[in-house]
Amino acid sequence: MAETLQAATAAADWAQLGEQVSTLAPQLRALAARGPWSAAEQSALRRLRAAHDGAQAAAAAAANALAVRLDELRANRDGWFAYALHGDAPSDAGAGMTHV
């Protein structure tokens, strides 16, 4: 389970990560229902917790980066409208609003 979370996090595959996280609780409940956890299972659970914490941090960082980018786009909205009206949008969306 931890490896799957780590792979989805490394790939920034948020859809896959969401699917994996949504299945964790039922899987962990089923495992816990079988009785006390062995030392190996406890070790695996610690790795899973670390992977989940890493995934949560990566998702939060990506959400923050997206919020910053959306704020930038909102701040430059009038400039984008001007480019659209004149039909000469910049070739690189991240190039800023200057035009020669």
- Report phi then psi at 16, rounded to 5: -65, -40
Residue with tokens 């990506």: 62
Rounded to whole angstroms, how far apart are CA atoms 79 and 62? 26
User: Position 55: which residue type?
Assistant: A
Closest CA to 14 of 55, 71, 72: 55
Rounded to whole angstroms, how far apart are CA atoms 60 and 12? 12
CA Rg value for the chain: 22
pTM of the predicted protein model:
0.71
pLDDT tens-digit readout, 36-56: 999 999 999 999 999 999 999
Query: For the chain, what are the domain ranges?
Result: 2-86
pLDDT tens-digit readout, 65-82: 999 999 998 888 888 888
Write down the pLDDT at residue 100: 39
